[in-house]
Every structure is written in C-alpha cells, then in structure tokens.
C-alpha cells in the first residue's frame, strides 16, 4: 500500500476558493472509480495550504491511474479551476506503508 500526498499552496487571498474546488474533487474522484481523497487544512505555516492524501495498492497502480485521471473530464475540469489559484505547482510525495514485523 502507498499513500500519495499532495500539498497545494494558494496565492494570497485564494485559500477559500481553493478549498471549495478541492472539496468538489473529493466526490468526483470516487465517482470516477479512484480511491477517495482525504483533505486537510494546514493550521501552521503557509496560510491557506491544503493537503490531500490518497491510498493506492501500489505505486504501479497509481502511475497507471495518471493517464486515466487526465481523461476523466469531471476531474480535469476541476483541476483547471485549481491551477490558477496556486502560488506554485502542487507538490506530490509518495509514501510506502511499512508493515509491522
């Protein structure tokens, strides 16, 4: 299992708009058949920053999904609204789940 974490830092004054769009991405993701997103709002640090987490069975499954996501109109339309709100492109990190011994 892996966890994909994305960090979105909005332009000043755009945090509320970014949150509204990211919250719309949550159900669109599930409706399209992808794993659900969990959304977090950062409490300290860069104001308005949002973090999403999504669990996948493997990095290979996640990588295969990238083309499928880009072909899913309901999701791409929302991300077209996200990008103009960002101070810089979002940061994506992949974490491998560590199984107990």
Domain coordinates of the chain in residue numbers?
2-96
For residues 41 and 28, is the Cβ–Cβ distance under 8 A?
A: no
**Tell me: domain 2-96, CATH 3.60.15.10, correct?**
no
DSSP state at residue 14: -
Using DSSP's 3-state secondary structure scheme, residue 5 falls into: strand
Torsion of CA 67, 73, 76, 81, to 10 degrees: 180
Given this model, what pLDDT does residue 101 score? 83
Given this model, what pLDDT does residue 19 score? 96
What does the pLDDT average to over 54-79? 93
Given this model, what pLDDT does residue 86 score? 97
Question: Other C-beta atoms within 10 Å of 18: how many?
Answer: 22
pLDDT digits over 6-59, tens only? Answer: 999 999 999 999 999 999 999 999 999 999 999 999 888 777 899 999 999 999
Given this model, what pLDDT does residue 89 score? 92
For residues 16 and 49, is the Cβ–Cβ distance under 8 A?
A: no
């Amino acid at each position: 299992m892996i966890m994909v974490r994305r960090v979105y830092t909005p332009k000043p004054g755009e945090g509320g708009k970014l949150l509204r769009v990211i919250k719309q991405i949550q159900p669109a993701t599930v409706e399209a058949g992808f794993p659900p997103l969990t959304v977090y709002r950062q409490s300290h640090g860069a104001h308005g920053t949002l973090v999403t987490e999504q669990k996948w069975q493997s990095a290979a499954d996640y990588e295969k999904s990238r083309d499928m996501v880009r072909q899913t109109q309901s999701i791409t339309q929302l991300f077209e609204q996200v990008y103009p709100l960002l101070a810089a492109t979002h940061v994506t990190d992949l974490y491998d789940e560590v199984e107990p011994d």
